[in-house]
Structure 1
């Protein structure tokens, strides 16, 4: 078994490569996920409303209301399962469940510890400025797309989008050719997904732990304590060990 065990973090994004995988199912997953996308659109609006309701409470008390925290965490957890099944990773063919709750035996899992204390008052907003380098990176990516639009027009943008999709979905090409998922690409994609989820959790006040700027930094080996805790509390009884996992 090959394992990526990250040091303990309050936002833990876990993934098991769920083989064997179909050689062709990836081509229709976008269609199979239409019900999820409809529900996630509504849940995304609810997520923003929950954040707006929680903000004044956090601002004055430094505490995220528990029921709003559970809802917001559930939305991110649901989104991660859908992304993992579809083109965020394509690393499982098990259809994602329709639930906000944790599903410990699903190949993609997300656990967020509710923070005991968050910054209060103006410090709450000032603390988010620590994410400026990460946000700057996202802005630069957006500017690249905008620059290509200015230079080459719509055809150049569509070509860049097609190239991006090809790169991100390249496990599909490997599955089609060989029937196997490339291990190195699995680790890279999960590290990128983990960084994006941890950054979202930080920006929306679900945690006060800022993820590292480099996505691969979240996937380095280590963390015996976290591995022990995960094996003890989150692994279903009698379940077999995955061939490859990223934690």
Structure 2
């Protein structure tokens, strides 16, 4: 499985790589109780995300002074994103596997969900001050549609596209025993968009997230352009 991890190293694509492998055999009913099974992860992640936010402020100060994201903080924050992605892939971000996620910040090439962020070189001081609140606003609007958060006034809770997809997937698993491949590809595209924006808003890259729904289990690296001899 080491080749899977090697494949995550960002090349010509966006420096945030999010991938997942849909398990062939999924339980018809386990998705109904994954909210309960994942509670230990939610508790740990609550504390990890507090640390993530505080360390992101430290990173902001460091970028303003040195134009560098401290490597230790970077690795920790990427680990939090990686852990969150594995839990989301197991639970209601993708329902892509029934394998319980590891309690680890480290990369686990044997787990079927991977996240990698390329460590940046020098970062812009100006963008560090603006991208997490101003420059990312258009993406926040899209993320609101994907994960929910916009209230129409017709209900106390409005659900995002990902939640709707997971409900359809759960019903399909329960009654048909099958995960529609098209829905998995769409869910992966939505999750990928959300995590790219999270990394960008956390100052991990100056590369603006693309406005496209890159669907599929694997990231597509653009082919080199042949400019001729």
CA, structure 1 residues 86+54, in 2 after alignment: closer, same or farther (shift >3 Å)?
A: same
CA, structure 1 residues 118+162, in 2 after alignment: closer, same or farther (shift >3 Å)?
A: closer
Deviation at 1:200, TM superposition (A): 0.4
Partner of residue 125 from structure 1, selected from 120, 123, 129:
129
1:186 is aligned to 184
Residue correspondence of structure 1 range 1-247 to structure 2 within 5 A = 8-120=13-125, 122-128=126-132, 129-138=134-143, 144-145=150-151, 147-148=152-153, 152=154, 156-158=155-157, 160-161=158-159, 165-216=163-214, 222-223=220-221
CA, structure 1 residues 175+113, in 2 after alignment: closer, same or farther (shift >3 Å)?
A: same
Q: Secondary structure at the match of 2:100?
A: coil
Question: Does the 8 A contact of 2:95 with 2:166 survive in 1?
Answer: no
Scaled by the length of structure 1, the TM-score of the pair is 0.77
Scaled by the length of structure 2, the TM-score of the pair is 0.82
CA, structure 1 residues 181+218, in 2 after alignment: closer, same or farther (shift >3 Å)?
A: closer
Q: What 5-or-longer segments of structure 2 have no aligned partner? A: 1-7, 225-229
Q: Distance in 2 between matches of 1:178 and 1:21?
A: 11
Q: Secondary structure at the match of 1:17?
A: coil
Deviation at 1:164, TM superposition (A): 7.6
Deviation at 1:207, TM superposition (A): 1.4
Question: Does the 8 A contact of 2:19 with 2:217 survive in 1?
Answer: no
Q: Distance in 2 between matches of 1:15 and 1:63?
A: 30
2:227 is aligned to none
Structure having the larger proportion of residues in helix: 1
Root mean square deviation, CA, Å: 2.9
